Chains A and B, each alone.
Chain A
Amino acid sequence: MAAAASMMPYFAQQISSKNDLVPDWMGQEVSTGTTIMAVEYDGGVVIGADSRTTTGAYIANRVTDKLTPIHDRIFCCRSGSAADTQAIADVVTYQLGFHSIELDEPPLVETAANLFKASCYRYREELSAGILVAGWDRRKGGQVYCVPIGGMMVRQPVSIGGSGSSYIYGFMDSNYKPDLTKDQCLDLTAAALSLAMERDGSSGGVIRLASISESGVERKVILGNQLPKYSTH
């Protein structure tokens, strides 16, 4: 399957993409169009993402899992090029695992974020990756770090990313308050993702949620027909 897949773009370039016989998606890079979100609460973090991966106009995967574990209590939310983010996540998972064994301690979320930043900044010209790093550690509790395209890193109490995030800045600014409970964070994330998926063509499918705390990771899926509904017209 991998060999066949790598031959397709070659043929697509030979047969010009202006030719109607070659579908648009055969020449396009696989992108996690996406809406991702991460929120800190006292004792942990809540993260969420949609589930659509597109190659041009074709939805290559409608049930993607964009919430990738990096360590026991550290996850990352991926947006941008699917290949780039998967590769970076794999590298960081290895580096962090090694570091954690050396330390003989669970790693810090800030360490994971710095590892992401190091890769994203060094290869910034070649990469197209926007990543949210979120998790729990004993030193600072729940933390969210944003590593957008370009490779900067900043900690934020709540962060959104991906193409669909533009549409929910207003909603997030008005609805987020400090000191929310875990369930309030879950509801806020589900609502925000639902609104973004409704407006952004590159986001859709199901909502994947996870909450990370000292006691572990709880994952949840909200299916299409169970999404919060906002009908305005």
Chain B
Amino acid sequence: MLEETGPEWLSEEVKTGTTIIAIEFNGGVVLGSDSRVSAGDSVVNRVMNKLSPLHDKIYCALSGSAADAQTIAEMVNYQLHVHSLEIDEDPQVRSAATLVFATLNGLLTRQPFAVGGSGSSYVYGFVDAEYRKGMNKEECQQFVVNTLSLAMNRDGSSGGVAYIVSIDEHGTEEKVILGNDLPTFFDQ
């Protein structure tokens, strides 16, 4: 404490504190994320889109170290592009997932929905209770927005706006929901 080490955020790695969520519905998927990037106590970007395209109809949601996550997303985007030229058709989502998991040396598992990032802890109970099979696209979008809003209210490292991406056979739709338009709950 006697040394002058300067503010934390000068030396801390930039992290996407984050809440991310992805959910399958019959005919497509919906992904969602918050937009806060923090370096220590400082928010260095309050409007970052953490939903990164890997291909036209394949997206990934980033959490953890911002630099590492962005780099992996860009690498896989390039590799997937080359791969799709080689096979002369659109790549499978599974191929994209395998490229990411191989780069990360991690776990690959398919699930009907998944949540991640520091804010996800606070909403496990909510998603376990509220998720139902057979939701349509609009219900999924509402579910994602509600989940993000709850997590952003409780997790100091998540906040800002909500980005939603909906992908189905007709195309990809990106949406932003600003802070004051997010759902509110009993104590707000």
Seen from chain A, the residues whose Cβ lies within 8 Å of a Cβ on chain B are 166-178, 191-192, 195-196, 198-199, 230, 232-233
Contact between chains at A173 and B187 (CB < 8 Å): yes
Interface residues of B in 20-35 (CB under 8 A from A): none
Contact between chains at B154 and A199 (CB < 8 Å): no
Contact between chains at B186 and A232 (CB < 8 Å): no
Contact between chains at B185 and A171 (CB < 8 Å): no
- Which of A166, A167, A173, A192 is B185 in contact with, Cβ under 8 Å? A173
Contact between chains at A167 and B121 (CB < 8 Å): yes
- In angstroms, how far is the closest chain B Cβ from the Cβ of A139? 24
Size range of the interface on B? 20 to 34
B128 adjacent to chain A (CB < 8 Å): yes
B147 adjacent to chain A (CB < 8 Å): yes
Contact between chains at B146 and A174 (CB < 8 Å): yes
Contact between chains at A167 and B122 (CB < 8 Å): yes
B85 adjacent to chain A (CB < 8 Å): no
A178-B125 Cα distance, complex, nearest whole Å: 20
Contact between chains at A232 and B128 (CB < 8 Å): yes
Contact between chains at A170 and B125 (CB < 8 Å): yes
Known contacts A170-B154, A174-B146; decide if A199 and B185 are in contact (CB<8 Å): no
Contact between chains at B186 and A169 (CB < 8 Å): no
- In angstroms, how far is the closest chain B Cβ from the Cβ of A163? 10
Contact between chains at B129 and A169 (CB < 8 Å): no
Contact digits for B96-115, partner A, Cβ 8 Å, 1 yes 0 no? 00000000000000011100
A169-B125 Cα distance, complex, nearest whole Å: 8
Contact between chains at A191 and B129 (CB < 8 Å): yes
CB nearest to A35 among chain B residues: B125
Known contacts A195-B129, A196-B125, A232-B131; decide if A170 and B111 are in contact (CB<8 Å): no
Contact between chains at A169 and B122 (CB < 8 Å): yes
- Which of A167, A168, A176, A196 is B186 in contact with, Cβ under 8 Å? A176
Interface residues of B in 170-186 (CB under 8 A from A): 185-186
A residues near B147, Cβ cutoff 8 Å: 170
A170-B149 Cα distance, complex, nearest whole Å: 9
B residues near A170, Cβ cutoff 8 Å: 122-127, 147, 150-151, 154
Known contacts A232-B113, A233-B111; decide if A174 and B121 are in contact (CB<8 Å): no
Contact between chains at A173 and B112 (CB < 8 Å): no
CB nearest to B119 among chain A residues: A170
Contact between chains at A167 and B187 (CB < 8 Å): no
B residues near A168, Cβ cutoff 8 Å: 124-126
B residues near A175, Cβ cutoff 8 Å: 129
Give me 5 A-to-B residue pairs in the complex whose CB atoms sit less than 8 angstroms apart, sorted by A's number.
A173-B126, A174-B150, A191-B129, A195-B124, A230-B128
